[in-house]
Chains A and B, each alone.
Chain A
């Protein structure tokens, strides 16, 4: 097997209400994040009660998660940028250390 070259990056899992999706992706685009994955219709429990993920008529009402892998310094900038948002809204950001093989995919 070929030797793989691992690089460390941060994984951000940004959970927020679907109505703010455009805001969050705009922020990531502005930060220079090159790609992200969006998971819609999350179910789960938080401080506001249980969120159902099956609503058909109202996409703004469901929770979504945006996953992005970014270099460490960028992760800090993004967290600083999200701070004013999360002081007004529910939701969380999980930050974790991960490793990727093709670093070129994750830096702008």
Chain B
């Protein structure tokens, strides 16, 4: 099959578009929370959940009895629920004798089961007859044609052909297909877990798979003609076009068809989609793969299985293409319907055997007979079931007589109203739950202007916006004169970080950013082992001894100069010994945050190139170290870099011919990479190290302004990063800092502290109006969210004037940790329910180290709010660890730039986290990853349930459920911005993503104008205004407490 370039590119584009509805799946080492319906955020929430339900087959709201339980517990605003029902009723035509409002409230609050029963065959008249306990009207006119729309809707459209076949013939191709695809994925994407490694992976997914599939005897023996399909075209696009045409799918439906195929194993699709996008991911560079290849592999297997099933049955009359299915629906409607009932598992058990027998015999006359019997039977069943449910509800509201007396039209209206209502029901509950959460928050806000203070606070402490910070902040504020702030946990400094002892970079910033600056971790220089033998060690040693020593770590050299390549290829043993020594005990470290000067970079580069040349000479000519002199090295370097001709010293020492000399010079360039282009690249890489002074000033200024802290700095300004500690937990990263790309946050904290403590930085800040007192000292710190321990870093740098206060500071931090542990202990359901703070803290510490603990902490579960405003706004209330909090003072942000940044970053990330929790809770099996107990790690990047399954996405049940019931209360994020309406509105308007999220109701936005004491709520396209006076607050509280 030959495709033009344009057609090939068009298929790539179609698959890209088709995949957008499937959420990304990040490798679990850096778990990133994500809205599973992110690809549908351009639709209103209400529509998107229906689309998500259709595509991913998941439930999108809680089951009714759980909402009813919430109603009992006061978590649903009854008034709101009633008024939504009233609004719904007002839009429906009145039905004589029926109090629809009463019916609907009874349906919502007293009925567990759905009232509407899906009836395909029974008519409204049938149901009405059953309600009145009459015989069904005689209907001899039932024509099979009536079933055509139903069958077309169910069996055609974008439903994969094999899936339809399974539903008509019980062929079970779907399961086998998934298994084959998963096995292929596991082989290819393995990141070092499997002992066997698939050959040819460097060439890409499709190519490596094709190689194996073509020679797979097992598949061949089973009669699967993969080889024939693959022979059609070399490219995955060509194979895709071939299969789609063979299946008879018209081209205008391809995108939707691809989406359905990709959604079948959405975890794997999400992972490959992410990997395709992550061009810098190590494994995607070495083993490239994209979704076009996945689709090609899936379709090839699907087509092969379809033909296998056809030949296995020895019959050619089963429909294995879309036109053949269409034909079966048109021309063998009765048989197709019965098949779909039987194999689609909707058949009424009482008739299952007879239908099965008739279909097996295949005689048209018998099928027809059974068909009419079945239709009659089903009609009666549907009518009775529907009638029972209606009668039960009518009895509840004492209106059975009225129901029975309805005219045919009114009866039909009633059914219609109930059907529509149940369709929208989830939204009613959700809005009423949100109303309750909003009221609770508004009842507690404090609008009083800040009190003036006569002295600065003892400590100012910044914490991540993470919901877990709310508790510790509250307790810290309660134990002394501590002022706390909320800020994104990477403190606004996107950086790549190279940890001591690790040869790779970590991105410490939200995944939405690609950091441009690199920070190196360093130790204070140690005494080196002077018996170093290899050239590499000499290079490192030389660098350390030189004035630039402190600037460079061996890891950095390795990464920047490709020593890993040289080392592993040329002298593995020595190299490994050397690396192992580097990994010895970790010492006290600090960070290289300043840019190198041109001279420093030149010198580093020269030293390293010299070391590489020495190594090359030793390696290629086995020349003893004593005979390698400086001149020889200098000449070689100059010639390799094209700055001179010839290397006379080397040639004369070794009596090399001109040709041998030239060959070696070429090797220096090509194998050892001593050439101008690579030197340039290395200089660029060195240029990434550190931040310029202006950048540092910019980052510190932005961080401080964004939280509204520009004066009255305390003696201690603590910057808390956060992270969790737990044992034996593939999801550990999910509990770490999302703002730091799923890593611990203390590095970011320490880096910003280091910047803010610099005299030059403070001098420049002063000229920008941020006056940091001379005795204010920034300290990087860490909040362990599993144990609530608070740890200070870099205390050896604290000025001596501050040392007297450290004890008081530590006591305060410890007290806050104990109180926080005491508050959290009951929710962790540990055996000991000791409520005394110190004992609670010890118990929580023990729990973190317990490797059998499936729930080390509740993480971000129960998140509900994001508050962007002053701390004073919510200081007087406990938000129960449910709020993301970003400090913000609109008075310092006249042009809304700071607010725009807060809403594009922290707000968007909070919304992802919120939606991931929402969907993982409403359907943990489909959108979550079910129980951790059955998880197996797949390929080192994900988990599967059992030995072979889709990659499990979302959160495990242990994170969101408690004994099978939701622990997380699924709400859309309630976002509060404290600012004048116009100010907030302008910021939201200018950030299109956020504007879309608000307009499409993915978040509930509230703007609190504390000067006017008014709250504005965005509701279906308009701003509702509500005064926040005390009287109003008390009525809200009353409303809440009467539930």
User: B492 contacts which chain A residues (CB < 8 A)?
Assistant: 56-57
Q: Is B1034 an interface residue (CB 8 A)?
A: no
Closest to B14 in A: A84
Q: Which of the residues B14, B513, B514, B992 comes within 8 Å of A48, measured between beta carbons?
A: B992
Q: Which of the residues B7, B20, B904 comes within 8 Å of A80, measured between beta carbons?
A: B7
Q: Is B901 an interface residue (CB 8 A)?
A: yes
Q: Are A80 and B16 in contact (CB under 8 A)?
A: no
For A77, A79, A84, which residue has the most chain B Cβ atoms within 10 angstroms?
A84
Do A84 and B10 form a contact, CB below 8 Å, given A31-B5, A54-B897, A58-B905?
yes
User: A76 contacts which chain B residues (CB < 8 A)?
Assistant: 6
Q: Are A59 and B992 in contact (CB under 8 A)?
A: no
Q: Is A3 an interface residue (CB 8 A)?
A: no
Q: Are A30 and B12 in contact (CB under 8 A)?
A: yes
Q: Are B992 and A51 in contact (CB under 8 A)?
A: yes
For B6, B17, B277, B901, which residue has the most chain A Cβ atoms within 10 angstroms?
B6
User: How many chain A residues touch B (Cβ–Cβ < 8 Å)?
Assistant: 34
How far apart sit A76 and B12, CA to CA, in the bound complex (Å)?
15
Do A27 and B9 form a contact, CB below 8 Å, given A22-B277, A57-B488?
yes
Q: Are B514 and A59 in contact (CB under 8 A)?
A: yes
User: B510 contacts which chain A residues (CB < 8 A)?
Assistant: 57-58
Q: Is B892 an interface residue (CB 8 A)?
A: no
Name the distance in Å between B324's Cβ and chain A's nearest Cβ. 27
Q: Are B6 and A61 in contact (CB under 8 A)?
A: no
User: A52 contacts which chain B residues (CB < 8 A)?
Assistant: 900, 990-991
How far apart sit A80 and B11, CA to CA, in the bound complex (Å)?
10
Q: Which of the residues A23, A26, A49, A55 comes within 8 Å of B989, measured between beta carbons?
A: A49
How far apart sit A39 and B9, CA to CA, in the bound complex (Å)?
23
Q: Is A83 an interface residue (CB 8 A)?
A: yes
User: B17 contacts which chain A residues (CB < 8 A)?
Assistant: 84-85, 87-89
Q: Are B514 and A56 in contact (CB under 8 A)?
A: no
How far apart sit A7 and B13, CA to CA, in the bound complex (Å)?
30
For A26, A57, A85, which residue has the most chain B Cβ atoms within 10 angstroms?
A57
Name the distance in Å between A4's Cβ and chain B's nearest Cβ. 27
Name the distance in Å between A105's Cβ and chain B's nearest Cβ. 17
Q: Are A55 and B904 in contact (CB under 8 A)?
A: yes
Q: Is A82 an interface residue (CB 8 A)?
A: yes
User: A50 contacts which chain B residues (CB < 8 A)?
Assistant: 990
Q: Are A57 and B901 in contact (CB under 8 A)?
A: yes
User: A32 contacts which chain B residues (CB < 8 A)?
Assistant: 5
Q: Are B16 and A85 in contact (CB under 8 A)?
A: yes
How far apart sit A81 and B7, CA to CA, in the bound complex (Å)?
7
User: B902 contacts which chain A residues (CB < 8 A)?
Assistant: 57
**A10-45 vs B: 1/0 string, CB under 8 Å?**
000000000000110011001110000000000000
User: A79 contacts which chain B residues (CB < 8 A)?
Assistant: 6
How far apart sit A76 and B5, CA to CA, in the bound complex (Å)?
9
**A59-99 vs B: 1/0 string, CB under 8 Å?**
11100000000000010111111111101110000000000
Q: Which of the residues B9, B290, B989, B990 comes within 8 Å of A81, measured between beta carbons?
A: B9
Closest to A78 in B: B9
Q: Are A58 and B512 in contact (CB under 8 A)?
A: yes
Do A56 and B9 form a contact, CB below 8 Å, given A22-B276, A48-B992, A49-B992?
no
Q: Is B937 an interface residue (CB 8 A)?
A: no
User: A61 contacts which chain B residues (CB < 8 A)?
Assistant: 512, 904, 991-993
User: B538 contacts which chain A residues (CB < 8 A)?
Assistant: none
Q: Are A59 and B512 in contact (CB under 8 A)?
A: yes
Q: Are A84 and B13 in contact (CB under 8 A)?
A: yes
Closest to B989 in A: A49
Q: Is B121 an interface residue (CB 8 A)?
A: no
User: A22 contacts which chain B residues (CB < 8 A)?
Assistant: 276-277, 279
Q: Are B901 and A55 in contact (CB under 8 A)?
A: yes
Q: Are A27 and B12 in contact (CB under 8 A)?
A: yes
Do A26 and B908 form a contact, CB below 8 Å, given A49-B989, A80-B6?
no
Q: Are B12 and A81 in contact (CB under 8 A)?
A: yes
User: A84 contacts which chain B residues (CB < 8 A)?
Assistant: 10, 13-14, 17, 255
**B2-43 vs A: 1/0 string, CB under 8 Å?**
001111111011101100100000000000000000000000
Do A85 and B514 form a contact, CB below 8 Å, given A55-B904, A80-B7?
no
From residue 894 to 918 of chain B, which have CB atoms closer than 8 A to chain A? 897, 900-902, 904-906, 908
Q: Are A80 and B992 in contact (CB under 8 A)?
A: no
Q: Are A85 and B13 in contact (CB under 8 A)?
A: yes
A-B contact count, CB below 8 Å?
Answer: 102
Do A77 and B4 form a contact, CB below 8 Å, given A22-B276, A84-B10?
yes
Q: Are B9 and A80 in contact (CB under 8 A)?
A: yes
Q: Are A57 and B989 in contact (CB under 8 A)?
A: no
Name the distance in Å between B288's Cβ and chain A's nearest Cβ. 10
How far apart sit A49 and B986, CA to CA, in the bound complex (Å)?
12
Q: Which of the residues B6, B290, B900 comes within 8 Å of A26, measured between beta carbons?
A: B290
How far apart sit A19 and B908, CA to CA, in the bound complex (Å)?
14
Q: Are A74 and B9 in contact (CB under 8 A)?
A: no
User: B989 contacts which chain A residues (CB < 8 A)?
Assistant: 49
Closest to A46 in B: B992
Q: Are B290 and A56 in contact (CB under 8 A)?
A: no
Closest to A82 in B: B13
User: B6 contacts which chain A residues (CB < 8 A)?
Assistant: 76-81
Q: Are A57 and B512 in contact (CB under 8 A)?
A: yes
User: B990 contacts which chain A residues (CB < 8 A)?
Assistant: 50, 52
How far apart sit A50 and B9, CA to CA, in the bound complex (Å)?
31
Q: Are B12 and A80 in contact (CB under 8 A)?
A: no
How far apart sit A22 and B7, CA to CA, in the bound complex (Å)?
20
Closest to A85 in B: B13
Do A60 and B992 form a contact, CB below 8 Å, given A55-B901, A76-B6, A80-B7?
no
User: B7 contacts which chain A residues (CB < 8 A)?
Assistant: 80
Q: Are A23 and B16 in contact (CB under 8 A)?
A: yes
How far apart sit A46 and B738, CA to CA, in the bound complex (Å)?
32
Do A30 and B993 form a contact, CB below 8 Å, given A55-B900, A58-B512?
no
Name the distance in Å between A64's Cβ and chain B's nearest Cβ. 13
Name the distance in Å between B294's Cβ and chain A's nearest Cβ. 14
How far apart sit A30 and B10, CA to CA, in the bound complex (Å)?
11
User: A23 contacts which chain B residues (CB < 8 A)?
Assistant: 13, 16, 277
How far apart sit A56 and B494, CA to CA, in the bound complex (Å)?
9
Name the distance in Å between A46's Cβ and chain B's nearest Cβ. 10
How far apart sit A22 and B19, CA to CA, in the bound complex (Å)?
14
Do A27 and B13 form a contact, CB below 8 Å, given A57-B512, A58-B512, A58-B513?
yes
Name the distance in Å between A81's Cβ and chain B's nearest Cβ. 2
User: A56 contacts which chain B residues (CB < 8 A)?
Assistant: 492, 702, 901, 904-905
User: A77 contacts which chain B residues (CB < 8 A)?
Assistant: 4-6, 9
How far apart sit A108 and B492, CA to CA, in the bound complex (Å)?
42
How far apart sit A75 and B5, CA to CA, in the bound complex (Å)?
11
Do A60 and B512 form a contact, CB below 8 Å, given A22-B276, A26-B276, A55-B991?
yes
How far apart sit A31 and B431, CA to CA, in the bound complex (Å)?
49
Closest to B9 in A: A81
How far apart sit A94 and B981, CA to CA, in the bound complex (Å)?
39
User: A60 contacts which chain B residues (CB < 8 A)?
Assistant: 512, 993
Q: Are B10 and A80 in contact (CB under 8 A)?
A: yes
Closest to B902 in A: A57
Q: Which of the residues B16, B255, B290, B513 comes within 8 Å of A59, measured between beta carbons?
A: B513
User: A49 contacts which chain B residues (CB < 8 A)?
Assistant: 989, 992, 995
**B500-518 vs A: 1/0 string, CB under 8 Å?**
0000000000101110000
For B5, B9, B514, B991, which residue has the most chain A Cβ atoms within 10 angstroms?
B9
Q: Are B10 and A57 in contact (CB under 8 A)?
A: no
Q: Are B488 and A30 in contact (CB under 8 A)?
A: no
User: Ordered nearest first, which 3 A-B pairs have the shortest CB separation?
Assistant: A81-B9, A57-B905, A80-B6
Besides A57-B512, A78-B9, A81-B5, 4 new A-B residue pairs in contact (Cβ under 8 A), listed by A number: A23-B13, A55-B991, A80-B6, A88-B20
16 A–B pairs (Cβ distance < 8 Å), ordered by A: A23-B16, A30-B9, A52-B900, A52-B991, A56-B702, A57-B904, A57-B905, A58-B510, A58-B512, A58-B513, A61-B992, A81-B8, A82-B13, A83-B10, A84-B10, A87-B17
Report which A residues bind B (CB closer than 8 A): 22-23, 26-27, 30-32, 48-52, 54-61, 74, 76-85, 87-89
